[in-house]
Chains A and B, each alone.
Chain A
Amino acid sequence: MAKPVETIKKKPNSKAIAAITLAVILILTLASVVIGVSGMKLDQDGLYKLLAWIPTPLESSSWREALVPGTDLGENRVQTYAIVTEEGAAPSEEQLSDTVNVLTKRLLFGGWNSAQAEVVEGNKIRLSLPLDGTHDHAFEMLAAKGEFALADPEGIAFLNHERVKQAAYGPTPNEDSYAISFLLDNEGKQIFADKTTELLGQSISLMIDGVAVASPGINVPLVDGQASLPGFNDETSLAYASMMQYGPLPLDLKLEDQSLKGLPIFGANVQNMLIISLGIAVLLVMLYALFTFRMGGLIAVWLMIIQLISVHFFAALLNSGFTTVTLLAIYGSFGLLVFALMILYRSMKRDLVRGRAIRQSLKEAYGGSGKVAIDTLVGLLLIAVVLIIVDQQQIGSFMRIFAMGLLIDLILIGIGLKVLLGSAITIFGTNSSLYTGVTAKKEAAL
């Protein structure tokens, strides 16, 4: 009679799996740090490269191309405009203020969140602009008066910016040019519908400062109060769309002077000082974690490094620039990660002092007071998402990076800590003094 074959099931070596897991994550972390600091050539000729994205004080580093310093923290382009008035009359304070206001809105519309417009010497306007590769002509266009109108073939205007509810610009679907699109209010919608019906088969002109910049033909009546006009480049589409949205400048401006060596608004050496001082702060936090929680602290430091690399990377990807606001988002979310780790580790330490095993303490930390950490991150992430929807300008832009940081924090707390700490416990054992600074003496006393 045949005997059944006994198959011996090999148990997977948990220590080996844990070691491989830690090794892989360590290699990925180290590679990210090296590439993040120094960048990487993607081809032999150096035509394609992955820019560095972790800020360092080194002048030779390419991180400033990925995270372009804003006017607050980096050298900037300064354009000074003189006011052109009839018969040399002095402009009023209100006119100057309104001009700065419209200019500011146009700059924000173009995404230059750190740009600044201000009145100087009583009758000139100075623009401080980031050195992000934008051609100076683009800014000069934005400083044009910008009287927008839609006109019939005889040049008679029938609509102006007051009837425009919203304007936008962007590449056309086949990306061969840029288009300007606009949405009119109810009155504008009616006027536009009537005029395009009347001018069927003819054309209308998009007029800026009395000059026709586009004359599209009317093939069908446009009755829904919106339209899209292609055939512009990125500079003109941005300038004209902003003029449609915000109207003309109250005053005529003329470029008087330009410099590429404007000092950062927050101090000549603020960039390097911030990188160094924030680095010191991070180092102090990491040293505290290492000394207080030992192996557990090392895991916490590892997570902090991953967080900083990731959030800086996404900030660069989102073109957020190296500005005070970006740094607030990055280090704000870093601080919340440290806060969450602090809660979890303090809870674990309390359980270990009471004699619980390390794995059980980790589980209880997540199930008990650790929920505060998760709640804080989730609640703030929800607020960030709401504000991204509610605010389309400053606050919304900030919340995009902050939300990314919070998401990374949640992943690191929810998954990263469990994986790394769990693997470390598997490899190095369950001696509680290794992870939370509870000494062997204290443990024996229990």
Chain B
Amino acid sequence: MNKKMDAYKVLIPSLLVTLVGLVLSLLQIGMKFQAGAGDMVSLNALFVSIVAVAVTSFIFAAVRYNAATGLVLGIVTLHDQVLTLAIVAILSMILPQANIMPIMVIFSVAFTFAQSLPVIREIRDLRHSNSIRDMSNEMVVDKAVKSTDGLRIASTVLAGLFIIAGLFSGNIKFVYALSPLVVGLLVSLYSARTLTSKLWLDYSPRMNKRK
């Protein structure tokens, strides 16, 4: 019961932010675009793509590893995409978006994979190489998150280097256009640190027990 609460506790702030983003967008206060750009954006196509990304992530991880891992990666991917979009919708009130916003949001799945997959992999490796008596699931998850911190920071610095290169190259409209990348990067960093491990802790032991 406690483990389940942990995963959902992490999701609550994200759900709240998503709700705020949705409400602001529906009220046409949020999801603002630069002149003419809004007409070039198909939000329906973006929503369909987000669902496709989440489903594909689930199927990939389920086939590659197991159903529990698939569920974790699918949920994390969906969480990151939706939260990124919600934050972009809120931020667009001061940083009006360009017509390439959907592509920027979808691209953030690359950040999700680069940040969360190493954590998932490390958890699985630690679990396989240590008995439950020697190392509880909580200990495995803690160690996995800590031992992949260095890699996640290095990936973030790498991505940040190129985003900064872009930010210094164009005018203010370009900065606005690149802002979803910054949001996606930070969201993926946050979810890899807090959500991925909690979800694994919740789903993996339960689903593996059923076998």
Please, how many angstroms separate the alpha-carbon atoms of A379 and B45 in the complex? Answer: 21
Closest chain B residue to A116 by CB distance?
Answer: B36
Which of A297-305, A335-343, A432-440 lines the interface with chain B? A335-343
Which of A11-19, A27-35, A222-230, A325-333 lines the interface with chain B? A325-333
**A25 at the binding interface (Cβ < 8 Å):** no
A390 touches B174 (CB 8 A): no
Give the interface size class of chain B. Answer: 35 or more
Given the interface contacts A265-B173, A393-B42, A394-B45, does A100 sit within 8 Å of B109 by beta carbon?
no
A398 touches B158 (CB 8 A): no
Given the interface contacts A339-B114, A372-B118, A379-B57, does A117 sit within 8 Å of B170 by beta carbon?
no
A118 touches B56 (CB 8 A): no
A101 touches B39 (CB 8 A): yes
Closest chain B residue to A392 by CB distance?
Answer: B45
B56 touches A386 (CB 8 A): yes
**A211 at the binding interface (Cβ < 8 Å):** no
Binary flags per residue of B26-51, CB closer than 8 Å to A gives 1, else 0: 00000000011101101001101100
| Neighbouring A residues of B154 by C-beta, 8 Å | 342
Which of A86-94, A245-253, A280-288 lines the interface with chain B? A280-288
B52 touches A100 (CB 8 A): no
Chain A residues numbered 168-200 whose CB sits less than 8 Å from any CB in chain B: none
**B100 at the binding interface (Cβ < 8 Å):** yes
Give the interface size class of chain A. Answer: 35 or more
A284 touches B36 (CB 8 A): no
Within the complex, the shortest CB–CB distance from B129 to chain A, in Å, comes to 11
Chain A residues numbered 357-402 whose CB sits less than 8 Å from any CB in chain B: 368-369, 371-372, 375-376, 378-380, 382-383, 386-387, 390-391, 393-395, 398, 402
Most buried by A among B100, B159, B181: B100
A117 touches B39 (CB 8 A): yes
| Neighbouring B residues of A97 by C-beta, 8 Å | 39
A395 touches B113 (CB 8 A): no
| Neighbouring B residues of A394 by C-beta, 8 Å | 42, 45, 99-100, 102-103
| Neighbouring B residues of A117 by C-beta, 8 Å | 36, 39-40
**A216 at the binding interface (Cβ < 8 Å):** no
**B13 at the binding interface (Cβ < 8 Å):** no
Within the complex, the shortest CB–CB distance from B13 to chain A, in Å, comes to 26
B168 touches A273 (CB 8 A): yes
Closest chain B residue to A273 by CB distance?
Answer: B169
Chain B residues numbered 84-99 whose CB sits less than 8 Å from any CB in chain A: 98-99
A375 touches B102 (CB 8 A): no
| Neighbouring B residues of A266 by C-beta, 8 Å | 170-171, 173-174, 177
Please, how many angstroms separate the alpha-carbon atoms of A101 and B118 in the complex? Answer: 43
B162 touches A331 (CB 8 A): yes
Binary flags per residue of B108-119, CB closer than 8 Å to A gives 1, else 0: 011001100110
| Neighbouring A residues of B57 by C-beta, 8 Å | 379, 383
**B151 at the binding interface (Cβ < 8 Å):** yes
Please, how many angstroms separate the alpha-carbon atoms of A284 and B165 in the complex? Answer: 11
B158 touches A278 (CB 8 A): no
Given the interface contacts A336-B110, A395-B102, does A285 sit within 8 Å of B158 by beta carbon?
yes
User: Which single member of B64, B118, B162 contacts A281 (CB below 8 Å)?
Assistant: B162
B46 touches A395 (CB 8 A): yes
| Neighbouring B residues of A379 by C-beta, 8 Å | 57, 60-61, 64, 113, 117
User: Which single member of B39, B106, B155 contacts A387 (CB below 8 Å)?
Assistant: B106
B109 touches A383 (CB 8 A): yes
User: Which single member of B39, B61, B155, B158 contacts A100 (CB below 8 Å)?
Assistant: B39
Within the complex, the shortest CB–CB distance from A122 to chain B, in Å, comes to 12
Write 30 A-B pairs (CB below 8 A) sorted by A numbering: A104-B39, A116-B36, A116-B37, A118-B36, A120-B35, A265-B98, A266-B171, A266-B177, A267-B174, A270-B170, A270-B174, A273-B168, A273-B170, A274-B169, A277-B165, A285-B161, A324-B98, A331-B162, A335-B162, A369-B121, A371-B121, A378-B64, A379-B57, A380-B110, A383-B52, A383-B57, A386-B56, A391-B49, A395-B46, A402-B107
Apart from A383-B52, A398-B107: 13 A-B pairs, beta carbons within 8 A: A100-B36, A116-B37, A116-B99, A117-B36, A266-B170, A267-B174, A339-B114, A343-B118, A369-B122, A369-B125, A383-B53, A383-B56, A395-B102
